[in-house]
Amino acid sequence: MQNISESGRVSYVAADPLKKIGWFKKIIFWILVLVDAINVLVLSIPNWITSVYHCVISPPRKCIKGQTVLITGGGNGIGKALAYKLAEKGCNIAIADIEWNAAQATAKDLQAKNVIAKAYHVDVADVDQIKELKKNIETDIAPVDILINNAALIPLLSLREGSEMEIERIVRVNITSHFYMTRAFLPGMILRKLGHIVGISSITAVHPMPGAVIYSATKFAVNGFIQALYQELRQEGNDFINLTSVLPYFVSTRKDLTEAVNLRFPMMSAEEVAEVTVDAMLRNEQIVSVPRYNLLLSAFLNTLSLPNQCLIRDYVFKEREARQVFYKEKESSNAD
């Protein structure tokens, strides 16, 4: 493994040239691969039966009553809606938000639901504040059982817009914070053999949004992070830790954002996203889109050629038209 601290100080050493494999070894190799593939088909039969069964009869939902949930960005929007929904399930809620007043107001409302709820003023891009947050939650409530990485910046910025500082801030809040938060709380979950980590990604993770290039890239990263971590934990034997990646369509949260984005299809409410997210958590689903059919739609679009995908974007979703309207309004606003 590369020593990161020595990067740039230690000379690059090239790997040995690849050796050519003879035809006999190639045949043996592909025979073994074929045998393994057949083995996988046999082993997958129970999984297919279970999947078909669950298409008819819904799988049981787990009970999370009494568990401690940490929601970043829980003062407003999706985070706030999730806090209310999980409080209804009997969870104790820790709300971490840089908007202190909003976090306090949400926590106060939740306390009326006979659960423990506490607000924490935290910048999720600051690793030292995250370490302090962990200590405070464990002192005030209990160790975190469910971590929901929800906090995000949603700027409508082309790659050529904004300063380098703004770009770095977006990346740190939208994805680096997921690394820091998970590193802080995952070890305790493994020790207790109980835990669930939820990453709030976006439909832009599978359907990137023009005019929000950096945001789309960070949401790709959130989804990739959850998928990679799932496989890592599974292969380590820690598959009792559940992971869920949530890909919502555009959500009506901030007033300025809803007024700026001219979408052909209507936005969703934060409550709709929270409903599907919590249901996916209770079913231990690894990935879910909101609405649920969006993943299938995106998978279908990706089977098309790029020119045909672009035609659908331009004539069905009307993204080009919406983008032109947005920039005309932006130029008009700047002129005023």
pLDDT digits (tens, 9 = 90+) for 115-126: 999 999 999 999
Cis peptide before 155 (omega within 30 of 0): no
Length of the chain: 336
Contact assessment for residue 74 and residue 103, using Cβ atoms and an 8 Å cutoff: yes
Q: Is 219 a catalytic residue?
A: yes
Helix, strand, or coil (residue 241): strand
pLDDT bin (cut points 50, 70, 90) of residue 88 is very high
Give the separation between CA 79 and CA 85, rounded to whole angstroms. Answer: 10
More confident residue, 6 or 110: 110
Contact assessment for residue 192 and residue 237, using Cβ atoms and an 8 Å cutoff: no
Q: Is a pLDDT exceeding 70 seen at residue 199?
A: yes
- Name the nearest CA neighbour of 138 among 118, 124, 121, 123: 118
Q: Is a pLDDT exceeding 80 seen at residue 331?
A: no
Q: Is 252 a catalytic residue?
A: no
User: Using only C-alpha atoms, what is the Rg of the chain?
Assistant: 23
The predicted pLDDT at position 322 comes to 60
- Catalytic-labelled residue, pool 120, 180, 215, 230: 215
The predicted pLDDT at position 1 comes to 53
More confident residue, 193 or 154: 193
The predicted pLDDT at position 14 comes to 86
Q: 324 is written with which tokens? A: 């032109």
- Report the 10 Å Cβ neighbour count for 22: 9
DSSP state string for 83-140 = HHHHHHTT-EEEEEES-HHHHHHHHHHHHTTTS-EEEEE--TT-HHHHHHHHHHHHHH
Q: 69 is written with which tokens? A: 């949930």
Per DSSP, 173 falls in state: I
- Which amino acid appears at position 302 of this protein? N
Q: 226 is written with which tokens? A: 């959850």
Q: Is a pLDDT exceeding 80 seen at residue 232?
A: yes
The predicted pLDDT at position 211 comes to 80
Give the separation between CA 294 and CA 313, rounded to whole angstroms. Answer: 14
The predicted pLDDT at position 257 comes to 66
pLDDT in tens, 253-282: 767 666 666 676 778 899 999 999 999 999
Alpha helices in the chain (DSSP H): 23-43, 45-56, 77-88, 100-111, 127-140, 164-171, 177-192, 213-236, 255-260, 270-282, 293-301, 306-315, 319-335
The predicted pLDDT at position 324 comes to 55
pLDDT above 70 covers a percentage of the chain that reads 90
Domains of the chain, residue spans: 68-303, 304-336
The topology (CATH level 3) of 68-303 is: Rossmann fold (3.40.50)
pLDDT in tens, 277-316: 999 999 999 999 999 989 998 899 989 999 999 888 888 8
Contact assessment for residue 112 and residue 83, using Cβ atoms and an 8 Å cutoff: no
pLDDT in tens, 57-67: 888 899 999 99
- Catalytic-labelled residue, pool 85, 216, 219, 245: 219
Mean pLDDT of 105-112: 94
Q: Is a pLDDT exceeding 50 seen at residue 35?
A: yes
More confident residue, 223 or 14: 223
- Catalytic-labelled residue, pool 202, 216, 245, 289: 202
Name the pTM for this structure.
0.88
The predicted pLDDT at position 323 comes to 62
